[in-house]
Structure 1
Amino acid sequence: MSTGNPNTGATHVAREDCLHLADPEWEALQRLSTVIGEAAVATMLRTLSPTEQHGVALGFIMREQRETAARATVSTPSTPRVESLKLHVNSYVGSEGEPLLRWLVEVDTAITARRIVDPLSKVAFAMTCLGGRPRSWAYGRRLTDPTCFSTYEVFKEELRQAFEPPQNEFRSRAEFLDLQQGKHDVHAYAQRARYLVSNIVTNPIDEATKVITFMKGLKDGPVKSYLFQEYPSTLESAITLAMQEEFSLRQAKLHVNVPRPMPRPMVKPREVPNQWTSRVRRLLDLSSVVDQRMSAVSGVETTVTTPVNAQHLCRRPRAGVTIPGIATGNKKTRTTSRRGAPCW
């Protein structure tokens, strides 16, 4: 216990008074005093036995460790677990025209998705995807020499030597350099170019040669002219531009060939020539005059309402009716016969 001020001695304990405590324990009690207060720690050291003091210091140290671990767990985000994908791989049977390189790419993709790391496990998985003659060849090699396929790369190289057509890259290179579109569309032509380029692995063709070969193989037309104007830098960009241009041309032709609806002709009212209009008016006026004079002579009222009737009346007036002022060709005069009888 420290000497001096009684109040200070009641709330503070010196290191010399607790020599039985180790340095980590004493430092732990000092940190505890900042939590519960120096007076509480001093009272505890004066009243507890040395064994109990060791227990208090150790308990506080363990509590600090648990809190530190809890804070680290909360602050450190947990890494999401990456699950493996079981992709299906078609069996390679070594038939004519079956591309071995594409099958190897498919197997590599499945191995990566399944997260297979061990080299022997990769070889075992690839062997299970074989069929026909390649499967018999692989398991026959493994039967005679269990260590024949030490790595996955060795397995792929021996498989290519056994089943890849001889001079396959040379033939693919020659066919690509002489490739022509012909009667195929741009999509089929581009797919053939991609297939031939993918077969050339040992000594790949540079991009400039790929682009100019693809452009020269196109048939003469708007697509070829457009590519020579743009002159793309890579084969894929050339294929993309060619397919876009062909699609645009097809859409333009489609809109041009669509039949447009013909406008319905407007039905116009039948027009009467001016000469017929004036004639009809004259006939109507004449018919009215005839009606008036006939009514005055015979007392019979005749109504003419159509131009046809008016014309008929003008041409052939009624027989036996005398119309003053109008001479008719059918009018008869009254005479006397030889015997004195009247006649017409």
Structure 2
Amino acid sequence: MKALTHTDFHFDGQTATYIGKVRDVYTIDNKYLAMVVSDRISAFDVVLPKGIPYKGQVLNQIASKFLDATSDICPNWKIASPDPMATVGHRCEPFAVEMIVRGYLTGSSWREYKNGAREICGVAIPDGMREHERFAEPIITPTTKAELGLHDENISREQILEQGYVSAEDYAILEKYSMELFKRGSEMADERGLILVDTKYEFGKKDGVIYLIDEIHTPDSSRYFYKEGYEERFANGEPQRQLSKEFVREWLMEHNFQGGKDDVMPEISDEFVARVSERYIELYENITGEKFIKVQSDNIAERIEANISNMLKRLV
């Protein structure tokens, strides 16, 4: 199985390139973005040394589906997805914060809570909660957007406004959009027998209008539980069946890696790569309710470059 871990495209009108942990973003005429979702995989803000075949296709196609399904809630950056691993859309000026919406106490929030925290990003968390317990209402726990190789940092609403990351007027819109998007995502998950546990949203601004940008409701940006068996597992204190890349984080933690400066990346075997690829395809089919169709190419990069180039010609 082939995996795309690197791109180096040169499109007509290209003015900038950004290589992220997973996505490679090409700016065209300072007006459009061509976002390629690679097969790279990251955990604890570290890119693993091997790519995961079909992961980029899974993430791009899930995000594309949910961008279309939520476009009535707020404008989003997508114009079209000319390739299974790429989306072309509007270039927006991104806000310097990410909006994390949590419906349940799990993952990093549970780890903080277990260590004694009773406030996360300025949001009070009551005593006596248990792992995977549902909040009375979803909460927003923003983070700053870190540079490549650095960790995102928790930040409160008050700090965001005090430090001028976002104006009070814009932040109110970000909160409104985030809650409405989470509600829609939760309803769509429920139809699939899933629970949308938590997710992140990123926003930007263009011509004075706030747009939803980047990915949405993918297993890299979101955590899902299976609805069936949730209550019983919670009552018994058992781990929940999850649809997210948390299983990758857990595997790394089992091998004593959490992204610390002295942590040593464990060997990534071909068997583990194949298993992760299968899990991503499972995620796609469960989240979308559609059969995943593997798009194979002798040269993935050439296919993507040609498809994006043809799309850009139609935009100019």
Higher fraction of strand? 2
Structure with max Cα Rg: 1
Higher fraction of helix? 1
The TM-score, its normalising length taken from structure 2, stands at 0.19
